[in-house]
């Protein structure tokens, strides 16, 4: 199991966090998704077959791209 923390500048409220959580939890291998709208970041626990690339690609598709 791995944990990835990502900065998401487009997060502005808990609704944004719920939308992200719903989409990321549909990825096979994603275990948990937590978000903090004040810090504009999410934390994702995942295992194979999920990957950071799949998580970031999904975030881009739903208009919440992660920044490095």
Residue 13 CB partners (closer than 8 Å, separation 6+)? 37
3 inside domain: no
8 inside domain: no
Q: Strands, DSSP E only, in 1-68?
A: 2-7, 30-36, 41-46
33 inside domain: yes
The 10s digit of each residue's pLDDT in 16-54 is 999 999 999 999 999 999 999 999 999 999 999 999 999
Q: How many domains does the chain have?
A: 1
- 59-62, long-range: CB < 8 A, 24+ apart: 59/6, 59/8, 59/20, 59/23, 59/24, 61/23, 62/19, 62/20, 62/23
* pLDDT band, residue 68 (cuts 50/70/90): confident
68 inside domain: yes
2 inside domain: no
31 inside domain: yes
At 31, list the tokens.
């275990």
The domain of 30 spans 17-68
23 inside domain: yes
Task: Identify the pLDDT of residue 10.
Answer: 93
CATH number of residue 67's parent domain? 3.30.70.100
Task: Identify the pLDDT of residue 42.
Answer: 97
Instruction: Kindly state the average pLDDT of the residues 53-58.
Output: 97
């Amino acid at each position: 199991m791995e944990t990835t923390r990502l900065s998401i500048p487009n997060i502005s409220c808990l609704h944004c966090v719920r939308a992200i959580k719903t989409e990321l939890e549909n990825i096979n291998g994603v275990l948990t998704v937590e978000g903090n709208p004040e810090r504009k970041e999410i934390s994702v626990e995942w295992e194979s077959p999920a990957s950071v690339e799949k998580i970031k690609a999904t975030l881009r598709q739903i208009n919440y791209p992660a920044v490095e």
